[in-house]
Amino acid sequence: MEHLNLRAYCAQFLEDNRLGDLPFFKEEDYTSNYRDLIELSLSLADSLKDEGSYYALKIDSPYFFFAHLLASIFAKKDVVVLSSKEPESALFSYQRTLGFKRIITGVIGSGKKDSHFPDIEINESSMAFSILSSGSSGPSKAIFLSLKNVYASATSVIDFFKMSKDDTSFMNLPHHHIGGMMILWRAFFSMGSLTNVRENSFQFISLVPLQFKRALTDPSELASLKKCRGILIGGAPLNEELKLEAKKENLPVFETYGMSETSSLVMLNGTPLKGQTVKLDENGYFLIKGPTLSPGAPVDSEGFFHTKDIGVKNADGTLSFSHRGDILFKSGGELINPIEVEAKVKELPWMAEAVSVGINHHEWTKAQALVFKSTDPDKTIDDIKAHLKKELHPYLIPRYFYPAGKDLVREGMKPKRFEVANFAREEFFKNLLHHLYIPHPNAKRLVVFFHGFMEDHSDMIPLMDSHHQCAYLFIDFPGHGKSRAGAFKKREDVFYYLSELILFKAQGLPYTLYGYSMGGRIALELALDYLRPEQLILESSHFGFKTAEEKRTRLESDRLLFKDVKDDNDLRIFFESWYKNPIFTGYNQSAHYSIDLEKKLTHAPKEWQASMEFNSPGTSPYFYQEVMAKLSLLKVVGIVGSLDAKYKTHFNEVKAQLADLHLYEIKGAGHNPHKTHLSDIKNILRNFI
């Protein structure tokens, strides 16, 4: 099959009853034949005439999905393929970045059968679709594939195995990924059939190594595999133990290599398929050239696509995939190869999946985290560690272990390292800095709120405004709320991880920092040294001391703040004294005061005391004049209460030196206007966010 005219190929199923009656998809209670498929596709194509030129397919059924895919080719429509399980937030993101106008989730139009072909030429140069790559080491991206690409890919495998109408392929991979989609195309172009019913007989199946390992121990699954003509293994290399088991059972196992950009497979058992040229460059990276390569894939002057995969050349001249070149990372100066760690973890018989990733770490640059899925609820992280201590050098043993979330690791699918890394980072931050993140499907910026001394993140939540197209992040500073001061060794660690959390949640969006009092000092230092916020909003905040003596005196005072607090009664007396300060005029008579006081009485004073090593203005590395010099580059908003004489004087002094400071004075407010004059604060925020 050197050339293709899809229209002529499809027409034969309507013109020849013998071909039209061939089964295409065998489901549990119904079998669709090729005539059904083509007639449904033509009907759908007619319904698509009035659709826009670009839309997305998000269809759960592989049969109806494939019918829509053919219909889009008949109707000459551009289509992007999405998973039927994509969350709403991801759909908004894809729609914004890819630009499609509609998402089709089911059969459109009347669904009546049609045998009329549109009056257009449909050949191998016709468009096929855009597919989202698995994003195994980065975020998903759309990859365009032409009909020529998928035809060349399908026929190269068909020719290799001499697939025919007598062959059935087991449809066990997600059809929105290239591996699963090419199972559909290979069956279609060989006039073969598909089934998703395990009890049905089939000749071809695609598995990842862990699925294959499990099948070897299941008598019924092993019996099915022994009837196969081709067992295609992908997603990761087979270890030697599994290869020996396959040989012992005389199973027709074929290790595959390919990717979305190459329309799936380019090699079987280390040998390039028909039309493919595969080689290694001087650094061991795979280079690929051939008819299955996406038209959008970047190529060099010789037409080779440079992958990020590292391979090895075997003694017999075949090539083997080793690992992704971009997943290696250094931790504490040692190079970590996640594949090596994962292979050892997967030796555990109860381990369903394991992914090693690096997460940013202040001390080690990257810290290794293992995200895993176990099939035995009685097994623990200690069991994994005990196994790894016997198998790996100490520096290769992960520092953090996180059980995988429900939908993070899916059966039969290659884990998306980018998603796994994000999950690991989220788990890491959950245990380090307690926070509340509130997303927005169309967020245009992230707003980060920092609370004051002896408050927590919940004190700032009322400042959130649902009218803004913003995501919000509220953080408990160490020693406050649920963030423990003892989790941090040094002051620098605190600011490093605060900045990492903010950048992680911003995901490239511009961001605004809002801080009250102590929180303002934190936001200020982050803006000076760690982050580049578009806006810095400071409520009743100090901009720094002018002399070293002032710093020393303040730090000594702060370190003794709770020295007389021994019990709850002492703590209550402390609060009564603290809030008698004139700067809290208005607040200590408000309804908020008694409610806030009861909440504060549940917190351990030793945590607040320990936090002084991080948050006391006496620990700041900056002096007032240095702050003023750096702030000239930022957009700064100041908020102060008219009854807060101390900070009103301070802000006016800052305003005299910082001409661009937007200074707002809240009439009748003391030191904490966000508590006593919430609507005034929200009105100010509406002008700047």
What pLDDT band is residue 182 in, cutting at 50, 70 and 90? Answer: very high
Give the per-residue pLDDT at 416.
81
DSSP character for 588? G
Closest CA to 640 of 665, 604, 661, 658: 665
Identify the DSSP state of 299.
B
503: left (phi over 0), alpha (psi -120 to 50) or beta: alpha
Q: Quick: pLDDT tens for 141-178.
A: 889 999 999 999 999 999 999 999 999 999 998 898 89
Q: List residues bridging with 637 in a β-sheet.
A: 537, 662
Alpha helices in 485-590 (DSSP H): 491-506, 518-529, 548-559, 568-578
Helix axes 178-189, 62-74, angle to 10 degrees: 70
Percent of the chain with pLDDT over 90: 72
DSSP state of 619: G
Query: How far apart are alpha carbons 371 and 356 in whole angstroms?
Result: 6
- Cβ of 123: how many Cβ atoms within 10 Å? 14
Does 665 score more than 80 pLDDT? Answer: yes
Q: What is the mean predicted confidence (pLDDT) over 584-602? A: 88
415-466 pLDDT, tens digit each: 788 889 999 999 999 999 999 999 998 899 999 999 999 999 999 999 999 7
Domains and CATH numbers, the chain: 1-158+183-189 (3.40.50.12780), 203-326 (3.40.50.12780), 331-428 (3.30.300.30), 433-546+617-688 (3.40.50.1820)
The distance from CA 83 to its chain's CA centroid, rounded to whole angstroms, is 15
pLDDT class for 406, splitting at 50, 70, 90? confident
In the prediction, which pLDDT does 237 show?
A: 83
pLDDT at site 325 = 81
Contacts 24+ apart (CB under 8 A), 426-430: 426/504, 427/369, 427/400, 427/402, 428/359, 428/369, 428/400, 429/497, 429/500, 429/501, 429/504
Q: In this structure, what DSSP letter does residue 260 have?
A: G
Own/partner contacts of 329-337, CB < 8 Å, gap of 24 or more, are 329/358, 329/366, 329/368, 330/365, 330/366, 331/358, 331/361, 331/364, 331/365, 331/366, 331/367, 331/368, 331/395, 331/399, 332/363, 332/364, 332/365, 332/395, 334/395, 334/396, 336/366, 336/368, 336/395, 336/396
What is the pTM (predicted TM-score) of this model? 0.70
| Predicted confidence band of residue 109 (pLDDT cuts 50, 70, 90) | low
As a whole number of angstroms, the distance between CA 293 and CA 243 comes to: 30
Rounded mean pLDDT of the chain? 91
pLDDT for residue 322: 85
Question: Which one, of 375, 358, 376, lies nearest residue 367 by Cα?
Answer: 358
341-378 pLDDT, tens digit per residue, is 999 999 999 999 999 999 999 988 899 999 999 999 99
Q: What is the Cα–Cα distance from 683 to 467, expressed in whole angstroms? A: 12
93 token code pair = 């993101």
Q: Cα–Cα distance between 301 and 191 in angstroms, integer?
A: 38
Indicate if the pLDDT at residue 585 is higher than 90.
Answer: no
More confident residue, 647 or 100: 647
- Distance between CA 241 and CA 168 in Å, rounded? 29
Structural tokens at position 586: 């208005």
Residue 1 has pLDDT above 50, yes or no: no
pLDDT tens-digit readout, 484-494: 999 999 999 99
**In this predicted structure, what is the pLDDT of residue 221?**
93
Residue 123's pLDDT is what? Answer: 59
| Weakest mean pLDDT among 44-53, 264-273, 654-663 | 44-53
- Residues 212-242: tens digit of each pLDDT: 988 998 999 999 999 999 999 988 788 888 8
User: Picking from 31-45, 80-94, 428-442, 629-643, which range would have the lowest pLDDT averaged per residue?
Assistant: 80-94
pLDDT of residue 199 exceeding 90, the answer is: no
Residue type, 246: A
Helix (H) / strand (E) element for 242: namely helix 240-248
**Taking every pair of C-alpha atoms in the chain, what is the biggest distance, in angstroms?**
96
172 close to 184: Cβ distance less than 8 angstroms: no
- Per-residue pLDDT, averaged over 273-301, amounts to 95
CA angle, 686 then 438 then 542, to 5°: 55
